[in-house]
Amino acid sequence: MDIFQSTSDSGILTLTASGRLDADTTARFAEVLTGCIDRGDRRIVLDLAGVDYVSSVGLRALIVAAKKQATLGGKIVLSGPQERILKLLEVAGFTSIFTIAPTREQAMEAFG
């Protein structure tokens, strides 16, 4: 899994992930995401357009990060998940936890 970070002029951090979020890659993914939260990033867009597989371990990493971010007054918005990833997020009940936007731009707008 590759993860690229960029910050918009308005201070919104975007993490662009590609590849698989599975048992082999989740620890690194969680480390990057938690590191961003720990350093004070409170508005995070997680661009999932390039992610083609998410395991239960990957789902757990997402929920742990979302809960941590929420307790600190922040928010993680998911953007651009592929159709099968979106269906997985819906079945797992993540649509009640995360704002999920079809594009990165719409995800950034979710912060107001």
* CATH code of residue 47: 3.30.750.24
* Reported pTM: 0.94
Residue 55: predicted pLDDT: 96
Q: How many domains does the chain have?
A: 1
Please give the Cα distance from 47 to 88 (Å, whole number): 16
Cα 112 from Cα 107, distance rounded (Å): 10
The 10s digit of each residue's pLDDT in 61-78 is 999 999 999 999 999 999
Q: Are 15 and 46 in contact (CB under 8 A)?
A: yes
pLDDT digits (tens, 9 = 90+) for 3-56: 999 999 999 999 999 999 999 999 999 999 999 999 999 999 999 999 999 999
Q: How far apart are CA 48 and CA 15, in angstroms?
A: 9
pLDDT at position 51 is 97
Paired tokens of 37: 């939260």
What is the pLDDT at residue 112? 82
Q: Which range marks the domain in which residue 58 is found?
A: 2-109
